């Protein structure tokens, strides 16, 4: 532990696996007490156990972010266990694929319910406490798809754009009360989500090489490289940072194309 988050109580949604688990583990290593929230009880238990086995503090919060009462109960449970929340990471997401006309109404509603409405429900539960206790840090997990036109994920991309817009307006609404609001936009990350996608491809190795080559740095990112930025934004080292959207994408979003001879 290096104690960059000592004394903080952090809530990480979607922490039952993938990048959210990585963020929760890094937060705990930096001294935060972490609320591990996810819909999947097994994933929550595994993350909490990993944190506790490493000597950190974690609380299991099994919760479906589409249910306002469950969100309220999870935040209350975390407050009772560790005290009021100082840091929120809205990381949980689902990603239905398809061009706009191919997305069912049910999938459209589901992706906005989890990715955007879920973030709203969490924020409205924690903000009064943050205001009462001198501030906090809210970090929305966006994506480069929130600003880039990547094909085949229209609804998901729209939710990530919404979170970037929400970051901007929330940052100005709450700056005077000491609440910083930022977003992080990763490129492709070496995660279970990527592995699942590759497993469905005809030539997984070739597709993986294409993903690596797509990023100017020459490879996809790691979960730890994303978590590092969350640690910074959650910590007091980022005390003058609000309203920002941090890209963690190996240069993907600024890459231009040169015509070849």
Ligand X SMILES: NC(=O)c1ccc[n+]([C@@H]2O[C@H](COP(=O)([O-])OP(=O)(O)OC[C@H]3O[C@@H](n4cnc5c(N)ncnc54)[C@H](O)[C@@H]3O)[C@@H](O)[C@H]2O)c1
The nearest distance, CB 252 to ligand X, in angstroms, is: 10
146 binds ligand X (CB under 6 A): no
136 binds ligand X (CB under 6 A): no
The residue within the footprint of ligand X, chosen from 9, 19, 127, 234 (CB under 6 A), is 19
The nearest distance, CB 94 to ligand X, in angstroms, is: 5
Return the exposure string of 214-240: e unless at least 16 CB atoms fall within 10 Å of the residue's CB, then b.
Answer: bbeeeebbebeebbebbbbbbbeebee
245 binds ligand X (CB under 6 A): no
186 binds ligand X (CB under 6 A): yes
The residue within the footprint of ligand X, chosen from 5, 32, 89, 141 (CB under 6 A), is 141
The residue within the footprint of ligand X, chosen from 4, 8, 26, 39 (CB under 6 A), is 39
Name which of 51, 46, 75 is nearest 61 in CA terms: 75
Pick the piece of the chain touching ligand X (CB under 6 A) from 36-44, 101-109, 168-176, 201-209: 36-44
The nearest distance, CB 189 to ligand X, in angstroms, is: 4
Pick the piece of the chain touching ligand X (CB under 6 A) from 16-24, 126-134, 166-174, 228-236: 16-24
Q: Cβ closer to ligand X: 4 or 215?
A: 215
Other C-beta atoms closer than 10 Å to the C-beta of 24 total 34
CA distances from 9 to 41, 51, 95, 244 (A): 21, 14, 28, 22
Contact 130, 86 (CB under 8 A): yes
Could you confirm whether 246 is annotated as catalytic?
no
43 binds ligand X (CB under 6 A): yes
The residue within the footprint of ligand X, chosen from 86, 167, 182, 188 (CB under 6 A), is 188
Which residue's C-beta sits nearest to ligand X? 18
125 binds ligand X (CB under 6 A): no
Contact 127, 51 (CB under 8 A): no
Number of residues interacting with ligand X: please give it, by CB under 6 A: 28
The nearest distance, CB 195 to ligand X, in angstroms, is: 9
Place of tokens 């998901």: 156
Catalytic site positions: 156
Query: Which stretches of the chain bind ligand X, using CB under 6 A?
Result: 14, 16-20, 38-40, 43, 63-66, 91-94, 114, 141, 143, 186, 188-189, 191-194
């Amino acid at each position: 532990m290096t104690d960059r988050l000592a004394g903080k109580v952090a809530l990480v949604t979607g922490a039952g696996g993938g990048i959210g688990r990585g963020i929760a583990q890094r937060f705990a290593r930096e001294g935060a007490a972490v609320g591990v929230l996810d819909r999947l009880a097994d994933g929550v238990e595994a993350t909490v156990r990993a944190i506790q086995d490493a000597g950190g503090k974690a609380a299991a919060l099994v919760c479906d972010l589409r249910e306002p009462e469950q969100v309220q109960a999870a935040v209350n449970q975390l407050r009772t266990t560790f005290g009021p929340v100082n840091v929120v990471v809205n990381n949980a997401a689902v990603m239905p694929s398809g061009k706009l006309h191919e997305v069912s109404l049910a999938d459209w509603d589901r992706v906005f319910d989890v990715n955007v409405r879920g973030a709203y429900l969490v924020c409205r539960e924690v903000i009064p406490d943050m205001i009462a206790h001198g501030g906090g840090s809210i970090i929305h997990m966006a994506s480069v798809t929130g600003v880039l036109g990547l094909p085949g994920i229209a609804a998901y991309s729209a939710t990530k754009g919404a979170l970037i817009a929400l970051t901007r307006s929330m940052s100005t609404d709450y700056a005077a009360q000491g609440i910083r609001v930022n977003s992080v936009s990763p490129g492709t990350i070496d995660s279970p989500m990527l592995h699942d996608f590759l497993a469905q491809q005809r030539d997984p190795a070739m597709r993986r090489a294409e993903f690596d080559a797509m990023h100017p740095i020459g490879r996809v990112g790691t979960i730890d490289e994303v978590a590092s930025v969350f640690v910074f934004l959650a910590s007091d080292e980022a005390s003058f940072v609000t309203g920002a959207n941090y890209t963690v994408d190996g240069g993907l979003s600024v890459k231009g194309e040169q015509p070849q001879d």
